[in-house]
């Protein structure tokens, strides 16, 4: 087995494993949301503690926007003829 075949096999298996760990489609249905609006059992948690603490120490405040003021377009729908 060559190095290239081994790398291909390894990456295929690794991406297959990651795919099984990802959540199923669904959640908010066909609605779209920004990552900053997404929360889960993992966030905020001990995994994000250091980032949150550093932001607080550096006086970094999140940008707050009134709800519904951010325009979200679907990719590929703004064709100009």
Lookup: tokens for 79: 């064709």
pTM of the model: 0.34
Lookup: tokens for 16: 């297959």
Q: Which pLDDT value is given to residue 73?
A: 63
Other CB atoms within a 10 A radius of the CB of residue 52 amount to 13
What are the domain boundaries of the chain?
Answer: 36-60
pLDDT band at residue 68 under the 50/70/90 scheme? low
The residue that leads in pLDDT, 47 or 16, is 16
24: left (phi over 0), alpha (psi -120 to 50) or beta: beta
């Amino acid at each position: 087995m060559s190095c290239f075949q081994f790398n291909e096999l390894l990456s295929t298996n690794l991406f297959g494993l990651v795919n099984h760990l990802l959540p199923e489609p669904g959640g908010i249905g066909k609605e779209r949301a920004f990552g900053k609006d997404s929360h889960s059992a993992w966030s905020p948690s001990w995994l994000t503690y250091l980032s949150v603490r550093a932001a607080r120490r550096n006086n970094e405040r999140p940008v707050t926007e009134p709800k519904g003021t951010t325009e979200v377009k679907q990719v590929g729908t703004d064709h100009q003829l």
